[in-house]
């Protein structure tokens, strides 16, 4: 056993002689704060932000605070929300996936074609999810099995997948879908609750449990923080990464089915720009881009912040491209703010070396 | 030691240096003197303040009190560049390397030589490659390093990289050179070369500071010593007048009679059987058996393939041939499986590979055991809690709560958590890869005691170590590896330092006088140390 | 250095083979008109690939270059519309200058606040692109609204090559000189290869990073003008998605996404490869809709090949520290004497 003397000697472990090791690990002290428990400081910020968004929207438009309108509003962001759930796990694992929107486009194109071949609603949903899964596996194989950097791979697959849609459809669109297909994205339960919201709630709960109450979730946090140490601890890091990319693809496939159903058409440029929005939601939700930190509650709150914000602005007839500016600015701000606070804090503590 | 050197001021001296970090007093008034033409050994346990002192000398930190003097004049070392300009340079091995850049660029990065031309802006300027190359060639030649300046650093061998790191310090015209644990990754042949270079530098007037935990090396290279303990300097003097026991006592504060406590334990039935294991590149044809309660030492030079062998046993890499089994059950397909079969590997680089600073104590401890802590797909959080509590109590880990993040614990307690998490998996074979490298005498003894407790419970231990003294003290058998093969298996009654060292070095290698002396010193305290006459003789060579 | 040269040579051969194959299939590819197009396209992509290389080498990335091109180009176009008599060089200066500022904004966030480049440039990409809409009111600026000098300049010739091509050559030369023969340039590679060591050695990391993104922005601004002038139109979707092509060109050219490695020649070759490929498509009767898919596939193939080259030889990932005795001890690379 480690003797008591060691305890006395090892007060503060002397910093090593050598300047920081080559594998620079970003400061993780805050990361631990951003991980423990259900609710943290960042979630409080998000709640306040949500309140502000709702207040602003109410002031801007009388239609906002209507219960049915609010429920309906979720339809416009449920698909992105589903994608954000998968993306959150990817980013916590220190990876990134820029191809999610392209996967949506390709899956949409695929089921659009299948619809012309007479496949029914149920079959289309299954096909969409299955296609997304396969595309996700492709990403996973390149990143996890071949060890290629995720950012470049998904930039490549982003072009490849959407490119294939363009090759298949060119300028056109598939608009013929079977009877009942539109009920998916446009239908309601009891005439009040949108189907998409139900789907979102179910998956949000499932992802929450996955991340916080399963062993897989534990392992994800571990290798997101320190992949080498995780391997030495017996975690099959590459296998996990592969399956999370696959899952991300599946979620995009599901989103594709819902989106196609909601807008009634499949085009090669559908979900254009969604990769940015989904990443923005996840980062806004408190998931650090460096991996190993973040909570599902934060992501879900961010979904609503971002979703209601864009919905409200849409109600006020703000054009889509302006919304992009706001999303982009929000993304930058949500990472800049903690950085600025950190700088202010360190200046206050004194810059003595 | 020339009379001139004695009367002129020290090349670098510290007086009354104090430094506090937050709540910890790292240095509480230390002094030391590094004189030109001499090698000063700085000794002390981890946490004694050596690294802080070095950082102050190299301009990384500013002292709260006290002075740094260079050649007698008080110097304000505001930054590492200032320190370098004043002629103080520290040699860091891997940390400052740019693998994709050429050797020449590595030597000069940070102070690339530029030439002004008439129309170029004041700052910046065009790089003077000719000047850099000629200077680089000169420096490398003085270090006996035949290295092509245009080769990317990453393509060099470890020994060559080491020369480059020393050369880098020399390109600054360093008058004070600080060597921190420079022999950690070197074979004894390379250590001989290094010491020859050190002696030559000293003869040329450079002042050298040598920091090491290896007392036998200190005795062979240093002229004087200073001992730090708990942030203060305790004693200094001439190496020629010192002996190991008194130095250890000064470092630790009390006598450590037995550094390697070897209890007698009954060695049981075979536990781990390895047959003809190889991976075609780093090791091949390795066969051995590990018995219950046995400590099997793996000795060899750096690069012999020991770590690679252990990683293959653990399942991190796939061997291309051969097999390994614990009690008949094959192991080695993945670390997760190995852990399940009772084999764990505590890796060399503990900081990087052992601890998750941002995870809680509970999560750290439970991580390797996750497979057993499930209830269906879910995590059995109560079982996790129980496990963590058990470990924390058994190892007496001081903590506020199990949900506390690991980074908030002291270094020693963090270490306990790292070891504890492996214990929690209830292992039957524990592989320790260089567990005492770079740690001080007190902690080393603790590790060896811990090994003793493991084997007392019937666990089989494989100890990979580059320290002959340690391996001979702790192991029941020694397996010597050389260039990827297991060349010798020796039982404890037959331990012979010269024989083991020779096996590791290879037939046809003539041990230098230094090597033989180290071999003898390795037999433990009481063996004769190289006398001053022998030292002077080897210095002249 | 030697490795990079070998890779570049191989790539050059591949390009030559590709050109040969295309010309054999469709001789019209070698016509003067087509070569002109190739050179002009190549010039812009080369300049932008070099810009992106600066970011990649320092372990960063700039996803906003397409948006900066659009915004700067639109600014120059609006200026020309309001004052058609203004000389082209002034418009070019305005575009490059505005690009510099936009890039510096990126740099300030990345260097000053230590924010991850991918997040920053993903965000500014949206913001800048949206600003194009804002300043133009969503309307296009068409050829007849732009000044004659503005439009003519890139197409004017000197010694047979267009100014556009010459500008490309100039940028290549300047980049090569600054990256190999100026301290700031070499320090970028150190920064990307080992950031902690670079910091310790006194390299002003923040200043270098700010410089990198400012250069990226300035070059993007310059190309914004060139693009608008060449195609004689400025609108919100100018150069949409172009940043992906710049990354593709870099990856094909051997620039490592992990930083610290990459050369000017490689980028030039990478850009050439892509431009040749894309220009070949219409010539061999392949629909332009294939461009995106081919772009993506090329990136994947290139990065896979890059990785093969970067991979260490030993299974455990160690940099050749050990090897089994096979008679004589292995001679270490780079040693001149035995």
Which domains, from first to last, does chain C contain?
2-310 (1.10.3470)
For residue B99, what is the nearest residue in chain C, using CA coordinates?
Answer: C193
B7 is a domain residue:
yes
Express each pLDDT in B24-76 by its tens digit. 778 888 899 999 999 999 988 766 788 888 889 988 888 988 889 988 888 88
Q: Shortest Cα distance from B473 to chain C (angstroms)?
A: 27
Task: Tell me the count of A-B CB pairs closer than 8 A.
Answer: 194
Report helix, strand and coil shares of chain B as percent, to nearest 5. 40, 25, 40
Q: Is the pLDDT of residue B2 over 60?
A: no
CB < 8 Å to C256, chain B: 100
Split at pLDDT 50, 70, 90, the class of C312 is very low
Split at pLDDT 50, 70, 90, the class of B261 is low
B369 is a domain residue:
yes
* Residue B294 burial (CB count, 10 A): 23
Interchain CB distance below 8 Å, A235 and B335: yes
DSSP state for residue B68 in the 8-state scheme? E
Same domain, yes or no: B20 and B149: no
What is the overall mean pLDDT for chain C?
86
A81 is a domain residue:
yes
Interchain CB distance below 8 Å, A36 and B360: yes
Domain boundary among B173, B190, B205: B173
Distances (CA, A) of B442 to A266, B46, C102: 70, 9, 58
Single out the residue of B427, B411, B364, B371 nearest to residue B392, CA to CA: B364
For residue B127, give the nearest of C183, C320, C329 by CB distance: C183
B524 is a domain residue:
no
Cross-strand bridge partners of residue A189 = A193
A96 is a domain residue:
yes
Same domain, yes or no: B20 and B62: yes
Q: Shortest Cα distance from A65 to chain B (angstroms)?
A: 39
Interchain CB distance below 8 Å, C127 and A340: no
Interchain CB distance below 8 Å, A319 and C133: yes
CB < 8 Å to A233, chain B: 335, 367-368, 421
Total domains, chain A: 1
CB < 8 Å to C200, chain B: 80, 95-96
Higher pLDDT: C92 or B165? It is C92
Answer whether C92's CB lies under 8 Å from C76's CB. yes
B4 is a domain residue:
yes
Interchain CB distance below 8 Å, A232 and B347: yes
Rounded distance between C-alpha atoms, residue C98 and residue B523, angstroms: 73
Interchain CB distance below 8 Å, B95 and A292: no
CB < 8 Å to B339, chain A: 234
B304 is a domain residue:
yes
Q: What is the mean pLDDT of the segment spanning B191-195?
A: 84
Answer whether A67's CB lies under 8 Å from A58's CB. no
Best B412, B417, B442 residue to mutate vs chain A (most A CBs within 10 Å): B412
pLDDT of residue A140: 97
Rounded distance between C-alpha atoms, residue C228 and residue C283, angstroms: 24
- Cα angle: C1, vertex B308, B371; to 5 degrees: 115
For residue C334, give the nearest of B80, B114, B147 by CB distance: B147
A174 is a domain residue:
yes
Percent of chain B past pLDDT 90, that is, above it, reads: 17
Rounded distance between C-alpha atoms, residue A180 and residue A187, angstroms: 9
Q: Is the pLDDT of residue C142 over 70?
A: yes
Q: Is the pLDDT of residue B116 over 60?
A: yes
Among B7-16, B204-213, B522-531, name the one with the lowest average pLDDT: B522-531
Chains near C, with 3+ CB pairs < 8 A? A, B
B517 is a domain residue:
no
Rounded distance between C-alpha atoms, residue B461 and residue B451, angstroms: 7
Total domains, chain B: 4
Express each pLDDT in A201-257 by its tens digit. 999 999 999 999 999 999 999 999 999 889 989 899 999 999 999 999 999 999 999
A340 is a domain residue:
no
Q: Is the pLDDT of residue C3 over 70?
A: no
Higher pLDDT: C285 or A102? It is A102
- Strand ranges, E, within B243-383: 270-278, 286-291, 295-300, 321-326, 329-330, 343-346, 374-375, 378-379
Same domain, yes or no: B445 and B397: no
Domain with residue B308: its CATH number is 3.40.50.300
Domain boundary among B372, B406, B426: B426
For residue C241, what is the nearest residue in chain A, using CA coordinates?
Answer: A159
Range of the domain at A65: 38-335
Express each pLDDT in B406-439 by its tens digit. 888 877 777 778 888 888 888 999 999 888 776 6
A228 is a domain residue:
yes
B532 is a domain residue:
no
Q: What is the mean pLDDT of the segment spanning B81-96?
A: 81
Split at pLDDT 50, 70, 90, the class of B260 is low
Q: Is the pLDDT of residue A258 over 90?
A: yes
When mean pLDDT is compared over A134-138, B86-90, B236-240, the highest value belongs to A134-138
Quick check: C212 contacting B, CB < 8 Å?
no
Rounded distance between C-alpha atoms, residue C300 and residue A143, angstroms: 11
Close Cβ partners of B137 (under 8 Å, ≥ 6 residues apart): B149
Same domain, yes or no: B470 and B332: yes
CB < 8 Å to B316, chain C: 316
A22 is a domain residue:
no
Same domain, yes or no: B332 and B479: yes
Which residue intervals of B86-157 are DSSP H helices? 103-108, 129-142
Same domain, yes or no: B458 and B491: yes
pLDDT of residue B287: 93
CB < 8 Å to C196, chain A: 19-22, 24
Domain boundary among B238, B255, B272: B255
* Residue B449 burial (CB count, 10 A): 16
- Cα angle: A330, vertex A331, A335; to 5 degrees: 110
- Cα angle: B124, vertex B128, B132; to 5 degrees: 120
H, E, C per residue of B203-253: HCCCEEEEECCCHHHHHHHCCEEEEEECCEEEEEEEHHHCCHHHHHHHHHC
CB < 8 Å to A28, chain B: 357-358, 407
For residue B229, what is the nearest residue in chain A, using CA coordinates?
Answer: A9
Interchain CB distance below 8 Å, C119 and A324: no
Rounded distance between C-alpha atoms, residue C53 and residue C253, angstroms: 10
Interchain CB distance below 8 Å, A36 and B180: no
Q: Is the pLDDT of residue B258 over 70?
A: no
Range of the domain at B483: 259-342+427-509
Q: Shortest Cα distance from A3 to chain C (angstroms)?
A: 34
Q: What are phi and psi of C211, to 5 degrees?
A: -60, -45
Close Cβ partners of A5 (under 8 Å, ≥ 6 residues apart): B442, B446
Express each pLDDT in C52-90 by its tens digit. 999 999 999 999 999 999 999 999 999 999 998 889 899
CB < 8 Å to A207, chain B: none
pLDDT of residue A23: 34
When mean pLDDT is compared over B56-60, B118-122, B194-198, C219-223, the highest value belongs to C219-223
Chains near B, with 3+ CB pairs < 8 A? A, C
For residue A279, give the nearest of C114, C122, C200 by CB distance: C122
Same domain, yes or no: B203 and B75: yes
Percent of chain B past pLDDT 70, that is, above it, reads: 85
A53 is a domain residue:
yes
Q: Shortest Cα distance from A158 to chain C (angstroms)?
A: 7
Domain with residue A203: its CATH number is 1.10.3470
Same domain, yes or no: B371 and B230: no
Same domain, yes or no: B10 and B62: yes
What is the overall mean pLDDT for chain A?
85
For residue A96, what is the nearest residue in chain C, using CA coordinates?
Answer: C118
Q: Shortest Cα distance from A165 to chain C (angstroms)?
A: 9
Segment 192-211 of chain C within 8 Å of chain B by CB = 193-194, 196-198, 200-203
Dihedral (CA of C68, C71, C77, C79) sign: negative
Residue labelled with tokens 């290139």:
C302
Tokens of C117: 């480049």
Same domain, yes or no: B167 and B178: no
Quick check: C333 contacting B, CB < 8 Å?
yes
Among B22-36, B287-301, B476-490, C246-260, name the one with the lowest average pLDDT: B22-36
Interchain CB distance below 8 Å, A328 and C307: no
Return the SS3 of B277.
strand
Same domain, yes or no: B154 and B268: no
Split at pLDDT 50, 70, 90, the class of B394 is confident
pLDDT of residue B518: 42
Same domain, yes or no: B161 and B199: no
If phi > 0 it is left, if psi is from -120 to 50 it is alpha, else beta; for residue B259 that is alpha
Interchain CB distance below 8 Å, A166 and C292: yes
Which ipTM score applies to this complex? Answer: 0.84
Cross-strand bridge partners of residue B482 = B485
CB < 8 Å to B419, chain A: 2
């Amino acid at each position: 056993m480690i003797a008591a003397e060691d305890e006395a000697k090892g007060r503060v472990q002397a910093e090593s002689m050598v300047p920081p090791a080559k594998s620079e690990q970003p400061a993780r002290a805050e990361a631990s704060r951003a991980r423990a428990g259900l609710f943290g400081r960042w979630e409080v910020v998000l709640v306040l932000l949500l309140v502000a968004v709702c207040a602003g929207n109410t002031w801007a438009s009388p239609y906002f605070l209507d219960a049915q309108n609010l429920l309906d509003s979720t339809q416009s962001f449920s698909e992105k929300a589903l994608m954000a759930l998968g993306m959150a796990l990817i980013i916590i694992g220190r990876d990134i996936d820029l191809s999610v929107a392209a996967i949506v486009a390709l899956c949409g194109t695929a089921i659009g074609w299948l619809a012309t071949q007479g496949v029914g609603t149920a079959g289309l949903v299954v096909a969409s999810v299955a296609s997304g899964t396969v595309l996700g596996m492709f990403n996973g194989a390149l990143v996890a099995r071949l060890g290629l950097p995720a950012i470049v791979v998904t930039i490549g697959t982003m072009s490849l997948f959407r490119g294939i849609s363009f090759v298949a459809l060119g300028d056109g669109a598939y608009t013929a879908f079977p009877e009942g297909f539109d009920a998916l994205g446009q239908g309601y339960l009891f005439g009040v609750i949108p189907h998409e919201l139900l789907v979102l709630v179910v998956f949000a709960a499932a992802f929450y449990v996955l991340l916080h109450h399963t062993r897989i979730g534990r392992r994800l946090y571990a290798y997101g923080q320190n992949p080498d140490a995780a391997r030495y601890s017996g975690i099959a890091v590459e296998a996990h990464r592969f399956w999370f990319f696959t899952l991300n693809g599946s979620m995009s496939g599901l989103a594709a089915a819902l989106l196609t159903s909601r807008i009634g058409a499949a085009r090669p440029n559908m979900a254009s720009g969604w990769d940015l929005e989904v990443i923005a939601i996840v980062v806004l939700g408190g998931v650090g881009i460096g991996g190993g930190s973040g909570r599902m509650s934060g992501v879900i709150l961010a979904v609503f912040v971002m979703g209601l914000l864009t919905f409200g602005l849409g109600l006020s007839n703000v054009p889509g491209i302006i919304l992009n500016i706001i999303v982009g600015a929000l993304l930058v701000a949500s990472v800049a703010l903690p950085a600025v606070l950190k700088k202010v804090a360190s200046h206050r503590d004194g810059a003595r070396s | 030691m020339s009379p001139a050197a004695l009367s002129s001021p020290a090349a670098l001296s510290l007086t009354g240096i104090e430094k506090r970090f937050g709540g910890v007093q790292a240095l509480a008034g230390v002094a030391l003197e590094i004189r030109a033409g001499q090698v000063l050994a700085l000794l002390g346990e981890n946490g004694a303040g050596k690294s802080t002192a070095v950082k102050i000398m190299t301009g990384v930190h500013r002292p709260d009190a006290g002075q740094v003097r260079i050649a007698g004049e008080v110097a304000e070392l505001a930054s590492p560049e200032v320190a370098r300009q004043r002629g103080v340079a520290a040699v860091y091995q891997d940390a400052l390397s740019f693998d994709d850049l050429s050797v020449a660029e590595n030597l000069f990065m940070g102070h690339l030589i530029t030439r002004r031309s008439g129309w170029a802006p004041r700052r910046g300027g065009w790089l003077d490659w000719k000047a850099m190359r000629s200077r680089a060639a000169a420096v490398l030649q003085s270090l006996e390093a035949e290295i092509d300046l245009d080769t990317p650093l990453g393509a060099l061998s470890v020994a060559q990289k080491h020369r480059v790191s020393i050369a880098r310090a020399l390109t600054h015209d360093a008058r004070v050179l600080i060597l921190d644990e420079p022999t950690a990754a070197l074979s004894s042949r390379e250590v001989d070369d290094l010491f020859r270079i050190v002696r030559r530098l000293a003869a040329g007037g450079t002042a050298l500071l040598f920091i090491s935990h290896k007392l036998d090396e200190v005795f062979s290279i240093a002229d004087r010593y200073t001992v730090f303990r708990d942030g203060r300097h305790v004693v200094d003097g001439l190496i020629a007048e010192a002996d190991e026991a008194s130095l250890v006592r000064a470092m630790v504060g009390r006598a450590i009679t037995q550094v390697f406590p070897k209890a007698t334990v009954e060695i049981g039935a075979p536990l781990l059987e390895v047959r003809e294991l190889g991976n075609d590149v780093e090791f091949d044809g390795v066969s051995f058996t590990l018995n219950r309660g046995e400590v099997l030492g793996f000795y060899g030079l750096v690069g012999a393939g020991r770590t690679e062998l252990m990683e293959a046993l653990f399942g991190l890499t796939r061997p291309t041939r051969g097999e390994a089994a614990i009690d008949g059950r094959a192991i080695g397909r993945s670390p997760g499986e190995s852990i399940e079969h009772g084999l764990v590997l505590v890796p060399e680089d503990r900081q990087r590979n052992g601890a998750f600073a941002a995870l809680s104590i509970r999560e750290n401890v439970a991580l390797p055991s996750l497979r057993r802590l499930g209830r269906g797909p879910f995590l059995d959080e109560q079982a996790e809690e129980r496990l963590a509590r058990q470990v924390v109590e058994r190892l007496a880990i001081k903590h506020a709560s199990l949900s506390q993040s690991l980074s908030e614990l002291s270094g020693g307690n963090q270490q306990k958590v790292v070891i504890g998490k492996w214990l929690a998996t209830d292992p039957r074979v524990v592989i320790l890869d260089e567990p005492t490298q770079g740690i001080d005498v007190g902690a080393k003894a603790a590790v060896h005691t811990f090994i003793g407790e493991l084997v007392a419970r019937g666990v089989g231990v494989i100890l990979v170590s580059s320290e002959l003294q340690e391996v001979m003290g702790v192991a029941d058998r020694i397996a010597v590896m050389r260039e990827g093969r297991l060349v010798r298996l020796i039982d404890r009654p037959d331990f012979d330092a010269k024989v083991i060292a020779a096996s590791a070095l290879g037939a046809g290698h003539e041990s230098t006088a230094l090597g033989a002396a180290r071999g003898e010193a390795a037999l433990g305290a009481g063996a004769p140390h190289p006398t001053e006459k022998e030292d002077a003789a080897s210095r002249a060579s | 250095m030697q490795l990079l040269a070998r890779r570049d040579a191989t790539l050059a051969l591949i390009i030559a083979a590709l050109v040969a194959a295309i010309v054999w299939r469709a001789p019209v590819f070698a016509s003067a008109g087509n070569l002109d197009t190739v050179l002009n396209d190549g010039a812009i992509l080369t300049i932008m690939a070099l810009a992106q290389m600066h970011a990649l080498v320092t372990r960063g990335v700039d996803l906003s270059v397409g948006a900066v091109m659009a915004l700067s180009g639109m600014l120059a176009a609006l200026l020309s519309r309001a004052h058609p008599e203004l000389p082209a060089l002034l418009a070019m200066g305005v575009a490059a200058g505005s690009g510099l500022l936009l890039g510096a904004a990126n740099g300030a966030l990345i260097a000053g606040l230590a924010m991850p480049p991918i997040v920053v440039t993903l965000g500014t990409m949206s913001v800048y692109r949206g600003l194009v809409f804002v300043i133009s009111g969503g309307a296009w600026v068409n050829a007849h609204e732009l000044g004659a000098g503005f439009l003519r300049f890139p197409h004017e010739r000197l010694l047979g090559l267009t100014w556009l091509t010459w500008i490309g050559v100039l940028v290549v030369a300047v980049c090569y000189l600054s990256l190999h023969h100026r301290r700031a340039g070499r320090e970028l590679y150190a920064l990307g290869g080992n950031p902690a060591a670079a910091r310790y050695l006194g390299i002003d990391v923040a200043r270098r990073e700010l410089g990198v993104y400012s250069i990226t922005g300035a070059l993007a601004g310059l190309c914004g003008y060139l693009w608008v002038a060449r195609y004689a139109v400025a609108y919100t979707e100018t150069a949409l998605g172009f940043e992906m092509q710049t990354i593709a060109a870099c990856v094909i050219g051997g620039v490592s996404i992990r930083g610290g490695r990459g050369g000017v020649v490689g980028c030039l070759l990478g850009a050439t490869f892509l431009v040749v490929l894309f220009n070949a498509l219409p010539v061999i009767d392949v629909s332009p809709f294939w461009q995106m898919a081919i772009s993506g596939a090329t990136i994947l193939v290139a990065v896979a090949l890059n990785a093969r080259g970067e991979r260490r030889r030993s299974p455990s990932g160690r940099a050749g520290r050990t090897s089994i005795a096979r008679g004589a001890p292995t001679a270490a690379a780079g040693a001149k004497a035995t």
